[in-house]
Amino acid sequence: MLVFVAVIAVAAVTLDFSVRRAWQQALQEQITRDLGQKAALFANRVETDRSHSLADIAAQEAHAAGARATVIDPTGRVLADSEASVIPEGQQDLPEFRSALAGKIGSDERENPQLHIPTIYVAAPISGGAVRFAYPISETETSTSRLRMALGWGTALALGFALLVAVVASRYTASRLKRIVGFAEQVAAGDLSARIAEPSVDEVGQVASALDKTARRLEESFSRVQTSQRELETVLNSIQDAVIAVGPDGLVQWANRSLDRLLLQPPRLNAPVVETVRDPDFLATIRRASQSQVVTTGRANSILPGHTFEVTAAPMPQGGAVAVLRDLTENERMEKTRRDFIANVSHELRTPLTSIQGYTETLLDGMTESNHVRDFLEVIRKNATRMGRLTEDLLTLARVESGEQRFDLEPVSPAELLSDARESFQEMARVYGVEIIVESTAPQQVRADREAVHQIFANLMENALKYAANGKRVVLGARADKGNVEFYVRDYGPGIASEDLPRLFERFYRVDKARSRESGGTGLGLAIAKHIVMAHDGTIRAESELNHGCTFLFTLPNAAA
């Protein structure tokens, strides 16, 4: 409303000022034109009237024109004047007389020096001088005042009518805007089903229509989001693993039903996660995933008594993490049962196999004739020996996997470990015609069990010598590697295909099964080496290309770490 009033007031003042100025200017121009015409008639009468004196002519013309009449000669001397006041000499220098004496009608507007009021002067040429009319502008003030009063009443009437229209328009517009504001507040409050009908096509109507379309689209989008959320919740509630979402502030945002069944009491939403799960390993995994923004795994043993859980935490884009808890208790129980079964069977087989091997060797030593019996006994001895090695490897693997085998970790030089491995297999290398070369050693010591590391080298060296004899050399070495020392055994044999590399360290996996059995291998050597390295907090891997040899690499931690 105030804007309407301001606009109307400014328009009215501007109109009054411009019309009044235009009226005054037009009135003065009209007076000047009339005086010009009368001055021309005045000049003509002075030229032609010989029956009256100049003073009479001036008086009569002044009365007829309503203005002061003056007649001068070329020198500026006043010959006649309609008023009795004395006019000074030198009138020829005034602008209007200067134009008239030059032969054309002249005019000027200035203040009268005697009356001190604005006056319009118009002069016309005559023979031997000029005539002039002087008209005081103050005479127009009365007309201007009447015009100003008329303009004032007209402006007031227009202002009143405009204000009435403005009040009606503003109230109408305000009511429409209030409806739009109320609709927007409904949407902001979550009522996406709210609608607003606005038939008008003006700007306010366009805004209302746009907001209505926005609300419709928001409702559709929110409906799709809710459907997706329900589907996701259904999927997450149907899986057996417990799932929990934790925000960046450490508060529980969501949990599935499996977690409700797992815990003694259901988790409270928007409550600290430590109130729901107090396991420190679980909380540390959540924290690492949230801070590092990478998927993090860990193990938790105190969430539920007697149960072990694998925790996998993935970061969320807005902060926090989603954690999945998988119960490993049954798997570990079955794995322990499997290890115990293998260990028990291997232990029970050791004694009869030893007896079979011993009696076979005794029979072979006592035979004097070469016949088929000797061949049969040799096959029995060979397979009994192989089964004996297999049971020993199974027992060793079971002890390492179960953690029963204790390692005596102490600082040891990589050079000593490499030298010991080279000396232990020097004789075997001579039989195969292979040279063992120690290429490089790392200066820092590692924390390891000498006998266990020797067993690692034994398995790797046996493979290198058996399967890479045609390379004629095996290279050993060690180098520093980010807080660890990386050992390697490199041969120059036929190599291993890339599809076999991921499975090399599985139990009983053989790249060349016929050749492995022929050479007496059990298929457990690399698996034993892998678990010994893992027990030392290290890693083991293989790199190879066909016909370009193979390199086995494993790491051991620095003694100072």
> CATH number for the domain including 512?
3.30.565.10
Q: How many domains does the chain have?
A: 4
* Whether residue 516 has pLDDT greater than 60: no
**pLDDT at residue 244 in the model:** 87
* Whether residue 514 has pLDDT greater than 50: no
Residue 208 lies in a domain: no
* Same-domain check for residues 392 and 342: yes
CA 153 to chain centre: 64
**pLDDT at residue 476 in the model:** 92
Supply the mean pLDDT for the chain.
80
Residue 234 lies in a domain: no
Query: How large is the average pLDDT for residues 323-333?
Result: 79
Query: How large is the average pLDDT for residues 261-286?
Result: 83
Tell me the C-alpha distance between 74 and 79, whole Å: 10
Per-residue pLDDT tens for 227-250? 877 777 777 777 778 888 898 888
* Whether residue 517 has pLDDT greater than 60: no
* Whether residue 519 has pLDDT greater than 60: no
Residue 127 lies in a domain: yes
* Same-domain check for residues 545 and 441: yes
Q: Which of these three, 101, 119, 142, is where a domain ends?
A: 142
**pLDDT at residue 433 in the model:** 85
Query: How large is the average pLDDT for residues 73-82?
Result: 85
Q: Strand 242-246 relative to strand 78-81: parallel, antiparallel, unpaired?
A: unpaired
* Same-domain check for residues 268 and 359: no
Query: How large is the average pLDDT for residues 132-149?
Result: 74
Q: Which of these three, 120, 142, 164, is where a domain ends?
A: 142
Query: How large is the average pLDDT for residues 443-460?
Result: 89
* Same-domain check for residues 545 and 491: yes
* Same-domain check for residues 261 and 357: no
Residue 86 lies in a domain: yes
* Same-domain check for residues 360 and 438: no
* Same-domain check for residues 40 and 14: yes
Residue 154 lies in a domain: no
Per-residue pLDDT tens for 201-231? 777 777 878 878 888 888 888 888 878 777 7
* Same-domain check for residues 23 and 136: yes
From residue 401, give the alpha-carbon distance in Å to each of 14, 34, 405.
Answer: 100, 128, 8
* Whether residue 302 has pLDDT greater than 90: no
Q: Which of these three, 327, 342, 373, is where a domain ends?
A: 327
Tell me the C-alpha distance between 81 and 86, whole Å: 9
Residue 184 lies in a domain: no
Per-residue pLDDT tens for 397-437? 666 766 666 788 899 999 999 999 999 888 888 888 888 98
The answer to whether 414 and 450 have CB atoms below 8 angstroms apart is no
Query: How large is the average pLDDT for residues 374-393?
Result: 68
SS3 of the chain: helix, strand, coil, percent, to 5: 55, 20, 25
* Same-domain check for residues 395 and 431: no
**pLDDT at residue 477 in the model:** 92
Residue 367 lies in a domain: yes
C-alpha count within 13 angstroms, C-beta hemisphere, residue 365: 6
Can you state the angle between helices 203-238 and 139-188, rounded to 10 degrees?
A: 10
**pLDDT at residue 205 in the model:** 77
* Same-domain check for residues 133 and 10: yes
Query: How large is the average pLDDT for residues 340-360?
Result: 66
Tokens 């009696």 correspond to 359
Outline where 367-435 has alpha helix (H): 372-402, 414-424, 426-432
Share of the chain above pLDDT 70, in %: 80
State the CATH number of the domain containing residue 343: 1.10.287.130
The model scores a pTM over 0.75: no
Q: Among the listed ranges 154-158, 485-489, 540-544, which one has the minimum average pLDDT value?
A: 154-158
Reference 211, options 187, 189, 191; nearest CA is 187
Query: How large is the average pLDDT for residues 127-135?
Result: 89
* Same-domain check for residues 323 and 337: no
* Whether residue 345 has pLDDT greater than 70: no
Query: How large is the average pLDDT for residues 5-21?
Result: 73
Query: How large is the average pLDDT for residues 51-77?
Result: 87
Residue 471: give the domain boundaries.
410-557
Tell me the C-alpha distance between 466 and 515, whole Å: 9
Handedness of CA 309, 312, 315, 316 (dihedral sign): negative
* Same-domain check for residues 385 and 493: no
* Whether residue 133 has pLDDT greater than 80: yes
Joined together, the tokens standing for residue 219 give 């409702």
State the CATH number of the domain containing residue 13: 3.30.450.20
Where does the pLDDT of residue 556 fall: very low under 50, low under 70, confident under 90, or very high at 90 and above?
very high
Residue 221 lies in a domain: no
Per-residue pLDDT tens for 305-317? 778 888 899 998 8
Query: How large is the average pLDDT for residues 513-540?
Result: 73
Tell me the C-alpha distance between 428 and 433, whole Å: 9
